[in-house]
């Protein structure tokens, strides 16, 4: 009987750095033939495009490294609709695949996805090697999705809207509870004392001993992330979550996404300043997308978590490609028309 394909599930909240981690792993794959499944929240395939631009992932579907975008909502809610047939296709090609990476949506619960690996058709051919949970160190340090009452109280004083985020707190805890490894990302944005404090907060949320490794932009060696052989699908009882007693789980229906495509260029600094204003005006958790910049032959990637932004040029525009600005916004009760009007006016 052929060896089962090891599957690594990479989870973590919005903007934690999951895609950066996978990009680095693909660019330093050490000869591994890796298939990647991307589950995105929103209609535009931003994360899938970012992974394709790493120049390791070819667009030819006959190659060993392929991108499968699952774009019709949270993966844990759609495993019977998209995940299952995608896994069936990968299993048919198991001789040309060394491992599979699944990047979940930042709003996904890991356990329902892992339970799908108990299905007989998948169980015989694939196993969950490990769950990697990526954590934004600075976000936790600021009191976001941490169980420390004092930190939460301080955050509430600064932001009245925080009282509405209890479901996201539970989601953060569930993602940690399922982890075989926690990647504490963006540690370059905090000092040593803050990093240690965040590590202690995370340890309080973990139901068992789990290693925590620090990372700057997901630059970790493949040997750290792969090869756990944890068979997670057989070990779910040791990974308690808030939703274990529920037959189904429901996401906060007020958390939505909207996207905007504009056939124009932007000044990056002016656009970032306007996006930061929007993040103050509305409850926007995440902004990501591609920006066309005047007199620049390359595509600009812009990503924001709250009011903190990062941007870089990832690849040249293709000859027949429309040089558009495409942005996805994820948040609560978004006012799409206001977002569009403010950006159009720039």
| pLDDT tens digit sequence for 164-179 | 344 567 788 888 989 9
Mean per-residue pLDDT over the chain, rounded: 78
Reply yes or no on whether the pLDDT at 211 is more than 70.
yes
Neighbouring CB atoms inside 10 A of 258's CB total 18
pTM over 0.85, yes/no: no
Higher pLDDT, 13 or 61: 13
Name the percent of the chain in helix, strand, coil, to the closest 5: 40, 25, 35
Reply yes or no on whether the pLDDT at 26 is more than 60.
yes
Q: What is the pLDDT of residue 293?
A: 95
261 in Cβ contact with 325 (< 8 Å)? yes
Average pLDDT over residues 23-50: 72
Tell me which of 161-165, 183-187, 259-263, 313-317 is least confident.
Answer: 161-165
Reply yes or no on whether the pLDDT at 87 is more than 80.
yes
User: Residue 322: which residues within 8 A CB-CB, separation 6 or more?
Assistant: 263
Query: How far is residue 39's CA from residue 100's CA, in Å, rounded to a whole number?
Result: 13
């930190």: which residue's tokens?
151
Reply yes or no on whether the pLDDT at 286 is more than 70.
yes
Query: How far is residue 323's CA from residue 95's CA, in Å, rounded to a whole number?
Result: 39
Report CA 325 to chain centroid distance, whole Å: 21
Strand order in the sheet with 181-185: 66-70, 34-39, 99-103, 5-12, 126-136, 181-185, 211-214
Q: What is the pLDDT of residue 54?
A: 53
Q: What is the pLDDT of residue 40?
A: 57
Query: How far is residue 10's CA from residue 22's CA, in Å, rounded to a whole number?
Result: 9
Q: What is the pLDDT of residue 71?
A: 47
Q: ∠157-161-167 over CA atoms, to 5°?
A: 115
Q: What is the pLDDT of residue 53?
A: 56
DSSP 54: T
Reply yes or no on whether the pLDDT at 197 is more than 50.
yes
Q: What is the pLDDT of residue 75?
A: 41
Q: What is the pLDDT of residue 47?
A: 56
Reply yes or no on whether the pLDDT at 332 is more than 50.
yes
Reply yes or no on whether the pLDDT at 162 is more than 70.
no
Reply yes or no on whether the pLDDT at 184 is more than 90.
yes
216-246 in b/e form (b: 16+ CB < 10 A) is eebebebeebbebebebbeebeebebebeee
Reply yes or no on whether the pLDDT at 273 is more than 70.
yes
The residue count of the chain comes to 346
DSSP 77: H
Phi, psi (degrees; rounded to nearest 5) at 87: -65, -35
Average pLDDT over residues 35-40: 75
pLDDT confidence tier of residue 106, bands split at 50, 70 and 90: confident
Query: How far is residue 325's CA from residue 323's CA, in Å, rounded to a whole number?
Result: 7
Query: How far is residue 329's CA from residue 289's CA, in Å, rounded to a whole number?
Result: 9
């Amino acid at each position: 009987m052929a060896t089962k394909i090891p599957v690594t599930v990479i989870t973590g909240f919005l903007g934690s750095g999951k895609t950066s981690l996978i990009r680095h792993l693909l660019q330093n794959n050490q000869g591994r033939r890796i298939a990647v499944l991307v589950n995105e929240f929103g209609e535009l395939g931003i994360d899938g495009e970012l992974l394709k631009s790493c120049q390791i992932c070819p667009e030819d579907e006959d190659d060993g490294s392929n991108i499968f975008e699952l774009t019709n909502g949270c993966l844990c809610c759609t495993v019977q609709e998209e995940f299952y047939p995608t896994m069936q296709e990968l299993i048919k090609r198991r001789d040309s695949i060394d491992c599979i990476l699944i990047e979940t949506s930042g709003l996904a619960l890991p356990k329902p996805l892992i339970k799908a690996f108990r299905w007989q058709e998948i169980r015989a051919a694939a196993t969950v090697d490990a769950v990697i949970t990526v954590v934004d160190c600075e976000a936790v340090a600021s009191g976001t999705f941490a169980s420390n009452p004092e930190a939460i109280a301080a955050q509430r004083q600064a932001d009245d809207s925080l009282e509405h985020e209890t479901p996201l707190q539970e989601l953060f805890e569930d993602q940690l509870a399922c982890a075989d490894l926690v990647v504490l990302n963006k540690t370059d944005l905090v000092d040593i004392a803050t990093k240690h404090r965040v590590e202690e907060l995370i340890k309080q949320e973990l139901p068992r001993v789990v290693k925590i490794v620090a990372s700057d932009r997901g630059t970790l060696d493949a040997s750290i992330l792969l090869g756990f052989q944890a068979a997670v699908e057989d070990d779910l009882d040791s990974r308690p979550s808030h939703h274990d007693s529920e037959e189904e789980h429901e996401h906060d229906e007020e958390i939505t996404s909207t996207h905007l495509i504009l056939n124009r260029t932007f000044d990056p600094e002016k656009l970032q300043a306007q996006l930061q204003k929007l993040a103050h005006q509305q409850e926007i958790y995440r902004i990501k997308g591609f920006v066309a910049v005047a007199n620049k032959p390359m595509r600009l990637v812009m990503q924001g978590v709250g009011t903190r932004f990062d941007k870089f040029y990832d690849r040249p525009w293709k000859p027949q490609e429309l040089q558009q600005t495409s942005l996805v916004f994820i948040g609560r009760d978004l006012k799409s028309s206001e977002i569009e009007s403010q950006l159009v006016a720039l």
